[in-house]
Amino acid sequence: MKTDVITIANLSCGGCVNTITKNLTAIRGVEKVDVDLATSNVTVSHNETVSLVKLIEKLTSLGYPEATAKNGLLTHLKSITSCMTGKLTA
């Protein structure tokens, strides 16, 4: 099993944590997801079939790009939408 730690942008609350956890654990091969609000780190334990690129792409599509990535208005709006959806489904 592999473990990757990804530092992301736009992480703000439990709704974000719920959205990220739900969507990453839905990826076949992902075993465990831990999201740390204080550090904005997402730790993902997975088998070899899951690539770091795939995880980053999924996070970006949800509005949570890597902290090193360009974080424009559209990405920020996506994260707000994901956050609200996470709060409603928690």
pLDDT, tens digit, 9 for 90 and up, residues 30-75: 999 999 999 999 999 999 999 999 999 999 999 888 887 566 556 6
Over the Cα atoms of the chain, what is R_g? 12
**Domains of the chain as residue ranges with CATH:** 2-89 (3.30.70.100)
- Residue 10 has a pLDDT of 82
Give the global pTM.
Answer: 0.78
Q: Is 19 exposed, middle or buried (0-12, 13-18, 19+ CB in 10 A)?
A: buried
Is residue 43 within a helix (H) or strand (E), and if so which, with residue range?
A: strand 41-46
Q: CA 19, CA 77: separation in Å to the nearest integer?
A: 14
Tokens of 72: 């424009």
Q: What is the pLDDT of residue 57?
A: 95
Q: How buried is 42 (Cβ within 10 angstroms: 0-12 exposed, 13-18 middle, 19+ buried)?
A: buried
